Structure 1
Amino acid sequence: MKIEIWSDIMCPFCYIGKRNFEAALSQFANKEQVDVEWKSFQLDPTIPEVPKYQDNMYMFVADRKGFSYEQSKKMHQDLIQYAKSVGLEYNFDKALVTNSLKGHRLIQFAKTKGLGEKAEERLFYAYFTQGKNLSDVATLIKLGKEISLTETEVNEALTNSLYVQKVESDSKDAQTLGARGVPFFVINRKYAIAGAQQPNEILKTLEKAFSEWQKENPNALEIQDGQVCEPNGNCK
């Protein structure tokens, strides 16, 4: 069963949504038959790499949304508490606002190596918890190495226009499917979950979708694992 997840690595509800999805998947009896693919969605491609109030998230949001500083800070404090409820630590006091394109390019390349989820998780943590600048090439090289990419591979992600095209293609695909924002979860191109919904609600949709998918794919095998030799020569 295929699950596609659109998100922006600078979207606070996307990181929370990832945790809620993981909690639901951990309770899903057929999780071994689920294929998850992370997709790119830039909420605001117009943000410059060094925007006004880059090192002041509260002022940045207040300025762009027409809020007061106090309203912005209260909104972010509420987000901090929401994040804590799912085991995440948001440090908006040191967050550095920037354009998310370079981060998405890195994720797109990581997907070609089977490292899409690892890249997504590492960049979320770097932005929301550590206050890393996700437009800084040296920072992205360091983060890439932490998920087993080489410096050459990170540079390839950041210079080859193919990965910009993949980011743009993902965003257009989401809009075609009816996404008005992120996170946006699509199951078998038949069911969609919009927003960071609670794990129990996600689980209900997973179970419903899987039941239908299983009926449509009667030849899907239930595999009991044992010791095997794999094509790469590993025997375990």
Structure 2
Amino acid sequence: MKIEIWSDVVCPFCYIGKRKFEKAWTGFAHKESVAILWKSYQLDPDMPDDYAKSTYELISEKYAISLEESVAMHAQVTQTAKEAGLVYHFEKAIPANTLKAHQLIQFAKTKEKQEEAEEVLFRSYFTEGRNINDLNTLLEIGETIGLEKIALKEALENGTYIPIVMADQSEAQQIGVRGVPFFIMNRKYAVSGAQDSTVFLEVLEKAFAEWRTENHEIKQEVIEGNSCTPGKKCD
């Protein structure tokens, strides 16, 4: 079964949702039969590279609220993150365009390190206050999870994975994703937002039970007989 997760690494509820999903995942008994795919989604693709204001100021301007309201709102999110076992430091978070970060994630996917890339990027942004739009920072993050620095640098400078990032974003729009995190299980069941782990586990088990039934039925319908296989004799 396949689980697809649309997420942006500057989305506070995406990191919280990741933790809640992971809690559900620990109680799921069929991990070996499931593939998890992280999909790219940019909340603010037009974010300028030279944006120099704080996260508090960014949200204040974006949603036409006072700076005090923005600070209070972030304090609430910080508390929610704490309850999920995360430490957020919005006071030192650096607003960033996430296109390069998503390219790193897509590069990491080719090395089966996509989840590690997501985790380190989330931590770098929300906890450590690192600039995840900075090339050198991304190269350091890549090395941290075992990616080859020269190959990653070349991919980021050439925009090799931009088409994949854009394809993920386009797919999200086509299937009606309007916010992240967004989880799709077995291409049928969707969970929107950082839901409680019990919700994730319930949907996981329901989707898997249906997937297993469908696959079992397909296998039952195969009646073996004489046949020919490419590269082998007929019998």
* TM-score between both structures, scaled by the size of structure 1: 0.90
Larger Cα-atom Rg: 2
For 1:169, what is the secondary structure of its paired residue? helix
Task: State percent identity of aligned pairs.
Answer: 51
Give runs of aligned pairs for residues 108-127 of structure 1, distance below 5 A: 108-127=106-125
| Aligned equivalent of 1:229 | none
Q: 1:38 and 2:38 equivalent?
A: yes
Divergent runs of 4+, >6 A:
none
Aligned positions, number: 219
Matched ranges for 1:79-158 at <5 A = 79-158=77-156
Which letter does structure 2 place at the counterpart of 1:39? Answer: K
Residue 165 of structure 2 aligns with which residue? Answer: 167
Report the equivalent of 2:22: 22
- CA drift at 1:57: 1.2
2:90 partner SS: coil
**Counterpart-to-counterpart distance in 2, 1:151 and 1:157:** 10
Deviation at 1:19, TM superposition (A): 0.3
Alpha carbons of structure 1 residues 219 and 156: separation in structure 2 relative to 1, 3 Å: farther
Task: Give 1:220 shift.
Answer: 9.8
**Cα displacement string for residues 83-133 of structure 1 (whole angstroms, at most 9, x for unaligned residues):** 000100000010000101010010000000101000000000000000000
Alignment counterpart, residue 75 of structure 2, candidates 74, 77, 88: 77
State the match for 2:2 in structure 1: 2
The answer to whether the 8 A contact 1:50-1:97 is kept is: no
- Given that 2:186 and 2:208 are in contact with CA atoms closer than 8 Å, whether structure 1 keeps it comes out as no
Name the SS of the counterpart of 1:4 in structure 2. strand
Task: Report how far residue 190 of structure 1 moved.
Answer: 0.8
1:135 corresponds to which letter in structure 2? N
Q: Does the 8 A contact of 1:214 with 1:220 survive in 2?
A: no
Residues 184/108 of structure 1: CA separation in 2 closer, same or farther (3 Å cut): same
Once the two structures are superposed, residues 166-196 of structure 1 have per-residue CA deviations (whole angstroms, 9 ceiling, x without a partner) of 0000011111111111000011111111111
SS of the equivalent of 1:5 reads: strand
Task: Measure the CA separation in 1 of the matches of 2:5 and 2:218.
Answer: 23
Residue-by-residue CA offset, 1:112-161 (whole Å, 9 max, x unaligned): 01010000000000000000001111111111000001211221331233
Show structure 1 runs of 5+ residues with no match.
222-236
Q: 2:216 aligns with which of 209, 215, 218?
A: 218
Stretches of structure 2 that go unaligned for 5 or more consecutive residues are 220-235
Q: How large is the Cα RMSD of the aligned pairs? A: 1.4
- Residue 52 of structure 1 and its aligned partner are, at CA, apart by 4.2
Match of 1:201 in 2: 199
Q: CA deviation at 1:219?
A: 7.8
Q: Residue by residue, what CA displacement relative to the aligned partner does 1:23-73 show, whole Å, maximum 9, x if unpaired?
A: 0111111122111011100011000112141xx211111012111001100
